[in-house]
Amino acid sequence: MLKAVILIGGPEKGTRFRPLSLDIPKPLFPVAGKPIIQHHIEACVRLKELKEILILGFYPVSQMQQFVSNMQNLYDVSIRYLQEFTTLGTAGGMYHFRDQIRLGNPSSFFVLNGDVCADFPLQKLYDFHLSKENKSLITIMGTEATRQQSLHYGCLVCDKNGIVSHYVEKPSSYVSTLINCGVYVCSMDIFSVLASIFYSKQQDFSSYNNGNGKEIGHIQWEQEVLTPLAGTGKLFALSVSNWWSQIKTAGSAIYANRHYLVLYKEMHPERLTNSGMKANDSTDGTLICNIYPDVHIHPTASVHPTATLGPNVSIGPGVVIGPGVRIRESIILDNAVIKDHTIVLYSIIGRGSQIGCWSRVEGTPSDPDANKPFAKMENPPLFNSEGRLNPSITILGYSVTVPSEMILLNSIVLPHKELSRSFKNEIIL
């Protein structure tokens, strides 16, 4: 029997994702029409042996409850949310809830960072872990990055058998282009390693308490577990070439959206809307809008037949799209209204936002450099060193109103704003 743990952090994490994470925990932000971590769950439930998924974080239970019960109804495995009493780090939660993970005697368990997106090759990773015949305590999913970008990730050096000899978390100078994807298979013996880290910290309790102000239960998986295990022959890595990326900034949500839509072609073609399909037109429900694949339209959205959508567009529940509207490379969240002849490019439109007629809402694409093999998304902070907004996609927070005939370029609008003029390269607070 197998289990999976999904690490989702808590409210003070994911700051680069604001303002999108102001009204919803970032792990529940919809990408390709499904909450980010539902894609993890779908990858996990494809494993026949997997019986339980534990979501670990420090968001209040009230914010996760509805999602968990929806998931529980959809999938045939046990799915639970376990709340850390405070931030326990990437490994502290696993140790704190060790009895819950061990319950039912799983043979091993997966650990997945909630802020990555991928075509998760979990079976392949598990088969590789098994092929090491109990020698591997942890098997890391690795992937190639560019030399320069590798510094933003955990870097691994490993031999041809996959034994990791060296692990450095976010090194300051080049170590390796093989990076940690934040996806692991762990043997149950990992808990004795975590226990010894916990007890040695407990002995140092006073110094820790005074030192970094963190709980003694706070354990960092990368620095305190992976780094010392490297070179002992118990840490393995499998390098994969599947699509994989982090979701740190709003721009990376647009990128993730595109790739999950592509994956739907094989896994969930019913989630894609194609030209020639019936669109839910508000008048008679039988007309068709113009589609450039890939596009996901929630069945409750109403799209006018003269609108043109795609590529890479997700339309959420209850959205209303008027005549002549053009949307490309964007995510439109629940109940937003986009009125006649408006164009939306490289943008995320928040829940319940309203855009008038003949407006233009446009952001800057922020894809990985297509000319560099293995390039990943850059995840720049909102502002550059001169305090200026870095060019990025345009984001409207929830319940924003943009009147007719406005132009909004490379801007971020916080929730509940009513704009009265056009804006370019600004954060509208």
Residue 186's CB is within 10 A of a number of other CB atoms, namely 26
The CB-of-178 to ligand GDD minimum distance in angstroms stands at 10
Supply 32's token pair. 């390709």
Separation between Cα atoms, residue 398 and residue 280, nearest integer Å? 24
Q: Which among ligand GDD, ligand GTP, none contacts residue 341 (Cβ within 5 to 8 A by kind)?
A: ligand GTP
The CB-of-114 to ligand GDD minimum distance in angstroms stands at 4
Q: Which among ligand GDD, ligand GTP, none contacts residue 57 (Cβ within 5 to 8 A by kind)?
A: ligand GDD
Does 422 sit near ligand GTP (CB under 6 A)?
Answer: no
What does the per-residue mask of binding to ligand GTP show for 345-364, with x meaning CB under 6 A?
---------------x----
Decide whether 224 or 329 has the Cβ nearer to ligand GDD: 224
Decide whether 311 or 380 has the Cβ nearer to ligand GTP: 311
Decide whether 57 or 310 has the Cβ nearer to ligand GDD: 57
| Span 237-256, contacts to ligand GDD by CB under 6 A | 246
Decide whether 298 or 360 has the Cβ nearer to ligand GTP: 360
CB 29 within 8 Å of CB 17: yes
Does 115 sit near ligand GDD (CB under 6 A)?
Answer: yes
The CB-of-68 to ligand GDD minimum distance in angstroms stands at 15
| Span 280-339, contacts to ligand GTP by CB under 6 A | 324-326
Out of 118, 343, 348, 409, point to the residue binding ligand GTP (CB under 6 A): 343
- Burial code (b: 16+ CB inside 10 Å, e: under 16) for 107-129 equals ebbbbbbbbbbbbbbbeebbebb
| Span 19-48, contacts to ligand GDD by CB under 6 A | none
| Span 55-94, contacts to ligand GDD by CB under 6 A | 56-58, 84, 87-90, 93
Residues that bind ligand GDD (CB under 6 A): 7-9, 13, 56-58, 84, 87-90, 93, 113-116, 153-154, 169, 179-182, 222, 246
Residues that bind ligand GTP (CB under 6 A): 324-326, 341, 343, 360
